[in-house]
């Protein structure tokens, strides 16, 4: 059995090889090819184009796609796998994606060809959760703003929220989405002594330490609203103007998930009109953020350039995690993170 892995700037060739090497003991022959970008920004721009336009929006070079009919298994992170690639890969049985989302793969076409598509749920959950907590603290305690002023020679201790700076102890944290990231954030907030409520209609099992509530209740009662849902057609603009209007004037909104979950225009208006106290954002409708974007003019928002999930631990552990899933598959074991319902017989 032959496996083709496509490395990128975040998961370089040597890391990909080392992470998947354990499969060789199961008789898998591994080849790793590079999808090159001169900078991380180039890869991020390509990834954004794929998220917006689908896997056909960016073409892979010929040296990556040559002889793909020879392979049974494909492992990728951000590389686009369009229908043309899948059609050429006549022996392909499995496409394994080294992240939670599969936007870079034409899953519908793969499903029609009987190809199983796997993802890597939770691979960067801890990275995103830790960043979300940092964003919460940075916003309510003015850490980033104070740092910026001090670097510019200003000893500033007064900010838009100075009359209502809160501690997390005893406050309510609302988590929109209660999967791997949301549950980790819940644990962190619990350690701070916060009350935790969560909205997730797909949540299964014991939600402790959170209390499951409907979305309107969460928006009304929370002092901090942090978004951790998966972006689908159903959840697009899940948090819009009606939901933001329900928030306390003293509350803050944090998004380290996907920009499409939040109506960015509605948020900018709410911040501009001081309807809510502040926000912390790591994702945006247009990336990189344009120099004239209204968020850059506001004094009650903390912004970072889409880095919540970007830790070396998250990237470097992904091939190892997927190797474990593929080893289970080859041994005929379950469960597996199959996203399109097609099981592969060992």
Catalytic residue numbers, as ranges: 258, 287, 306
What residues have CB less than 8 Å from 67, skipping those under 6 apart? none
Contact between 3 and 94 under an 8 Å Cβ cutoff? The reply is: no
Q: Which two tokens stand for residue 242?
A: 């009606």
Separation of alpha carbons 151 and 139, rounded Å: 18
Q: In what order do the strands lie in the sheet with 94-97?
A: 29-34, 2-7, 73-76, 94-97, 116-118
Per 3-state DSSP, the chain is made up of helix, strand and coil in percentages (nearest 5) of: 40, 15, 45
Residue 318: closest CA among 107, 96, 131: 96
The residue whose two tokens read 């200003």 is 154
- Angle in degrees, 0-180, between the axes of helices 125-140 and 143-151, rounded to the nearest 10: 70
Residue 225: closest CA among 272, 276, 286, 159: 276
Cα 63 to Cα 36, 43, 58, 59, distances in angstroms: 11, 17, 15, 12
Between the two ends of the chain, the Cα-to-Cα distance in Å is 11
φ, ψ for residue 52, nearest 5 deg: -85, -35
Residue 160: closest CA among 246, 225, 252: 252
Residue 119: closest CA among 66, 60, 180: 180
Q: In what order do the strands lie in the sheet with 224-227?
A: 211-212, 195-199, 172-176, 224-227, 252-255, 278-281, 301-303
Q: Which two tokens stand for residue 194?
A: 């916060």
């Amino acid at each position: 059995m032959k496996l083709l892995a496509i490395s990128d700037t975040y998961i370089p060739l040597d890391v990909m090889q080392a992470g998947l090497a354990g499969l060789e003991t199961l008789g898998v022959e591994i080849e790793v090819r590079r999808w090159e970008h001169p900078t991380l920004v180039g890869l991020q721009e390509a990834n954004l184009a794929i998220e917006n336009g689908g896997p056909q929006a960016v073409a892979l070079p010929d040296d990556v796609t040559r002889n793909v009919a020879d392979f049974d298994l494909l492992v990728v992170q951000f590389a686009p796998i369009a229908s043309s690639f899948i059609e050429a890969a006549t022996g392909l049985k499995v496409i394994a994606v080294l992240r939670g989302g599969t936007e870079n793969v034409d899953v519908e076409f793969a499903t029609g060809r009987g190809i199983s598509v796997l993802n890597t749920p939770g691979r960067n959950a801890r990275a995103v959760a830790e960043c979300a907590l940092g964003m919460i603290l940075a916003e309510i305690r003015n850490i980033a703003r104070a740092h910026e002023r001090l670097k510019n020679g200003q000893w500033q201790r007064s900010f838009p929220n100075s009359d209502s700076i809160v501690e997390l102890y005893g406050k309510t944290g609302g988590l929109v989405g209660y999967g791997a990231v949301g549950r980790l954030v819940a644990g962190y907030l619990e350690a701070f002594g916060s009350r935790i409520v969560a909205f997730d209609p797909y949540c299964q099992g014991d939600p402790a330490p959170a209390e499951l509530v409907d979305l309107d209740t969460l928006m009304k009662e929370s002092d901090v609203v942090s978004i951790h849902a998966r972006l689908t057609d159903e959840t697009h603009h899940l948090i819009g103007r009606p939901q933001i209007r329900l928030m306390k004037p003293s509350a803050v909104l944090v998004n380290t998930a996907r920009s499409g979950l939040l109506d960015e225009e509605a948020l900018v208006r709410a911040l501009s009109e001081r309807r809510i106290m502040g926000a912390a954002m790591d994702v945006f409708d247009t990336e990189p953020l344009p120099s004239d974007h209204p968020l850059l003019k506001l004094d009650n928002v903390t912004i970072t350039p889409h880095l919540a999930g970007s830790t070396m631990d998250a990237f470097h552990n992904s091939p190892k995690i997927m190797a474990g899933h593929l080893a289970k598959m080859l041994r005929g074991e379950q469960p597996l993170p199959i996203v399109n319902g097609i099981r592969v017989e060992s």
